Structure 1
Amino acid sequence: MYKVFVNEKKLLLSKQSENLEKTIGYENAMTLEIALDLLENTSVKELNVFGEDIDGIWAEFRSLFRIIEAAGGVVNNPDGDTLFIRRLGKWDLPKGKMEKGESREESAIREIEEETGLRDVELVRFINTTFHIYVERNGDKVLKCTHWFEMNFSGEDTSKPQTEEGITEVAWKNTAQIEDEVFPSTFKNIKLIIKEFWDTRKN
């Protein structure tokens, strides 16, 4: 199963039909074009495309876009607070595009350190990959695949926003602050990864 966000709307690609607002059985590549058109140009907020060959559907879907790989992290301090950045008026997790020759892990650590000013972040484990679609100024349709890692930080707090990247604030948030302040002003894929991190931490 693959969950993709299209302008904060949800597209679910799955083997079986899921109970969402709209469901379409996969027939061919045109099915995916129709699904994207419905999410981009109508009031439909969540849509499921289903078919037995999920790997084939996903490969077909990816072929419609230019793929950008990115990596980032859910960084936690010894108090259990999580590090967030604020950019364009929204709370976000530190992340960025992978550079040529970098591993996902190397990229996640580099981007976190560049965007937040922290040093010596410790990688713990991979959490998951989120997907979202956007259109670049030149009209290219991009599928951004962001690989998320759990990170620990216990050093001196040298956090400072990378203003040249449009980041205006770096802040540690506890669980209550995340629910009250971050969730109302963030992206759905960020909520998804934070909740997934919380779920795994409980187990």
Structure 2
Amino acid sequence: MYKVFVNEKKLLLSKQSENLEKSLSYESFTTLEMALDLLENTSANELNVYGENIDEIWAEFQKLFRIIEAAGGIVNNENSEILFIKRLGKWDLPKGKMEKGESREESAVREIEEETGLKDVELVKFINTTYHIYIERNGDKILKCTHWFEMNFDGEDTSKPQIEEGITEVAWKNNTQIEAEVFPNTFQNIKLILKEFWSNRSK
């Protein structure tokens, strides 16, 4: 199953029909184009494309886009707080595009240290990958795949925003603050990965 966000609307690609606002049975490449059109140009907020061969559906879906890979992390400190950045007025987790020759892990650590000013962030484990779609100024349709890692930090807090990347604030937030301050002012993908992280931690 793949969850992709299109302008903050959910597109779910799955084997079986899921109980969403709209559902389309996968027949061909055209089904995917139709699904994107419905999400981009109608009031539908969520849509499910389903079919037995999910790998084929995903492979066909990726052909519609230029793919950009990114990596980032959920960084915890000893107070069980999570590190957030504020960019363009919204709370976000530190992340960025992978550079040529980098592993996902190397990229995640580098981006976190660049965007937040922290040093010696410890990588713990991979969490999951999130997907969202956007259109560049030149009209290119981009599918951004962000690989998320759990991280720990227990060093000296040298956090400061990377202003040149449009980041205006770096802040540690506890669970109560995340629910009250971050969730009302963040992206669907960020909510998704945080909820997955919390559910894995409570197991």
What range describes the TM-score normalised by the shorter chain of this pair? over 0.9
| Number of positions where the alignment pairs a residue of Structure 1 with one of Structure 2 | 203
Percent sequence identity over matched residues?
81
Amino acid at match of 2:143: L
List structure 1 segments (4+ residues) > 4 angstroms apart after TM superposition: none
- Give the structure 2 partner of residue 67 of structure 1: 67
Residue equivalent to 2:102: 102
Residue correspondence of structure 1 range 87-166 to structure 2 within 5 A: 87-166=87-166
Deviations 1:96-132 (A, max 9, x none): 0000000000000000000000000000000000000
Shift of 1:8: 0.2
1:127 partner SS: strand
CA RMSD of aligned residues (A): 0.3
Q: Deviations over 1:119-152 (max 9, x none)?
A: 0000000000000000000000000000000000
Distance between the aligned counterparts of 1:31 and 1:202, measured in 2?
38
Match in the other structure for 1:80: 80
Alpha-carbon separation, structure 2, partners of 1:4 and 1:187? 12
Measure how far apart 1:67 and its partner are: 0.2
2:123 maps to amino acid: L
Q: Which amino acid aligns with 2:177?
A: Q
Q: CA deviation at 1:21?
A: 0.2
Inter-partner Cα distance in structure 1 for 2:157 and 2:173: 14
Provide the secondary structure at the position in 2 that maps to 1:43. coil
| Secondary structure of the structure 2 residue equivalent to 1:34 | helix
Q: Give secondary structure in 2 for the equivalent of 1:17.
A: coil
Q: Distance in 1 between matches of 2:195 and 2:26?
A: 30
- Measure how far apart 1:39 and its partner are: 0.2
User: Paired residue for 1:23?
Assistant: 23
Separation of aligned partners in 1, 2:183 and 2:92 = 10
Give the Cα–Cα distance (whole angstroms) in 2 for the partners of residues 137 and 101 of structure 1. Answer: 27
Partner of 2:33, secondary structure, is: helix
Letter in 2 for 1:175: N
Between the aligned partners of 2:191 and 2:54, the Cα distance in structure 1 is 25
**Residue 77 of structure 1, CA deviation:** 0.1
- The 3-state SS of whatever aligns with 1:129 is strand
Alignment partners' CA distance in 1, 2:202 and 2:35: 36
One-letter code aligned to 2:70? A
Q: Say whether residues 1:8 and 2:29 are aligned partners.
A: no
AA partner of residue 151 (structure 1): M
Q: Which runs of 5+ in 2 are unaligned?
A: none
Uncovered stretches (5+) of structure 1, i.e. residues with no partner: none
Q: Deviations over 1:138-192 (max 9, x none)?
A: 0000000000000000000000000000000000000000000000000000000
Q: CA deviation at 1:71?
A: 0.1
Secondary structure of the residue that 1:105 maps to in structure 2?
Answer: helix
- Give the CA deviation at 1:76: 0.3
For residues 174 and 35 of structure 1, the distance between their equivalents in structure 2, rounded to whole angstroms, comes to 38
